[in-house]
Chains A and B, each alone.
Chain A
Amino acid sequence: MTDNLEVLGTMLPRLVDGLVITLQLTAGGAVLAFVVAVVLGLAAGHPSRVARGPARVVIEFFRGTSLLVQLFWLFYVMPMLGVSLDALLTGVLALGLNYGAYGADVVRGAIRSVPRGQWEASVALGLSPARRMVRVVWPQAWAIMIPSLSNLAVMLLKGTAVAYVILMHDITFVTEQLRQRTNDTFFAYGVGMLMYFAIAYCIVVAANALEARAKHRLGTGPPLKDVLRPRLPARGRAGAGVSG
């Protein structure tokens, strides 16, 4: 075990490099996915067929063909077509398009679940379509879509591990090196999985904070600082069982 920790110590800089690569893939992929999701989601939920049709085709295409196929296509076929992308950009593009297509349905569904009356009220108040979306519909849809988008962000993080297949030196790659050095699969992969788990956990916490803020701004939840503050022991609980 001490040997393992020694090797871990000497490999620490590489682990950090791997972490950086994974974080770059995750952040880049998530930003691109979000943009793709909003654009496609708005188009797919648009009443006009001209906007809806193509958006549906793009969404189904990127959802239906596997992430790894898209990654390999970008990595192996694009250079043949004269477009050479470096590995990081390839990864970001594949992750962003794939999870963006999933996110598009989340965005569409969330916008559709904003009550009809909100749309009608903003029409009655004479708001322009852009203002109606930005000031009335989007803030409400945003609060609804955050939990699903957070799930997708965690899935995207897990998807970054395929970058290992196009020879990127991400956490998975360094984990595998650690295994070869220590000859201890359990230790090396334990470290690797804990790193992924820690990032995923941060994503979930950040998403919960975002959701609390969005709800508070809609006037339907407590302010963010009350949510983040550790809960006091529930003294009133004992009586709750009697009444309910």
Chain B
Amino acid sequence: MSEMWSWDRAFTVLPQLLQAFLEVTLLATVLGSAIAAVLGLVVAIVRRTAPAWVARPVHWVMEFIRMTPVVVQLLFVYYMFPSWPALWIGIGVLGVHYATYMAEVYRSGIDAVPPGQWEAATALSIPARRTWTRIVVPQALRTTLPALGTWVISMFKDTPFLVVISVTEMVSAAELFGSRTFVYLEAFTLAGLIFLAASYPTSVALRRMEARLARY
């Protein structure tokens, strides 16, 4: 090892990393968090409104998913459905895994809606569906947005786990480059910096948003 860091290598690998970042990492994060945000809300509402024989099993399944590794879940679904495209499996599994976390966030958001809002809705004889869609959920969403964002960042940083089902996202692209050139330094360092460059500003923005929302 005569010289350590090579800018040549860095500039060779950078476009490959950015391409994998845009095509796989970002795509998986965006679609995965869309699934998680919708499914999480559905689960949170089901757990509050459905009869116990539905709500209980849903709760257990959610707990089980939340307490087992996403890597194992990825492999499980990958081998259960070998014909499905790996990227879609990855997006689905990440989405469902983080839905269990987001459901908890929504739950606390829904609990934080003042009881007076429910009572007012009852007093005005607004039907249950309308109470949820027009009164409870909009208020719950306001307070939960920063916490949901935090889980999106978490999911973003979990996308490299897709390497176990052979999806070439940014980190596996870095590993591929490393295994071809036998030098991993630049590829992994840049991959880490790209993650940092994307997640740090987002988390700062979320913290600002949280502070602003707390003022109201």
Point out residues on A near B: beta carbons under 8 Å: 60-61, 63-70, 72-73, 76-77, 80-81, 154, 157-162, 164-165, 171-172, 175-176, 179, 185-186, 189, 192-193, 196-197, 200-201, 204
Supplied contacts A69-B191, A76-B178, A175-B72, 5 more A-B pairs, CB within 8 Å: A66-B171, A154-B67, A172-B69, A185-B80, A196-B72
Give the secondary structure class of A's interface. Answer: helix
Closest-by-CB residue of B relative to A203 is B67
- How distant is the Cα of A203 from the Cα of B76 in the complex, in angstroms? 24
Mostly helix, strand, loop or mixed at chain B's interface? helix
Residues of chain B within 8 A of A70, CB atoms compared: 192
- A151 CB, min distance to chain B CBs, angstroms: 10
**Most A C-beta atoms less than 10 A away, residue of B1, B70, B79:** B79
Q: Which residues of A contact B160 (CB under 8 A)?
A: 66-69
Give CA–CA (A67, B157) in the complex, Å: 7
B163 close to A (CB within 8 Å): yes
Interface size on B, residues (CB 8 A): 38
State the CA gap A65–B171 with chains docked (Å): 11
Chain B min CB distance to A133 (Å) = 26
A-side contacts of B203, CB under 8 Å: 60, 63-64
Partner of B195, one of A65, A160, A172: A65
Q: Which residue of B lies closest to A189 (CB)?
A: B76
Complex: chain B residue closest to A197, CB-CB: B67
Point out residues on B near A: beta carbons under 8 Å: 1, 4, 64, 67-73, 75-76, 79-80, 157-161, 163-164, 171, 174-175, 178, 183-185, 188-189, 191-193, 195-196, 199-200, 203
The chain A residue sitting closest to B160, CB to CB, is A68
Contacts of A73 in B (CB 8 A): 184, 188-189, 192
Query: Known interface pairs A76-B178, A186-B80. Does A158 touch B70 (Cβ–Cβ under 8 Å)?
Result: yes
Chain A residues near B80 (CB-CB < 8 A): 185-186, 189
* B64–A68 CB distance below 8 A: no
| Given A64-B195, A64-B200, A80-B1: A72 and B184 interface contact (C-beta under 8 Å) | yes
**Chain B residues near A171 (CB-CB < 8 A):** 72
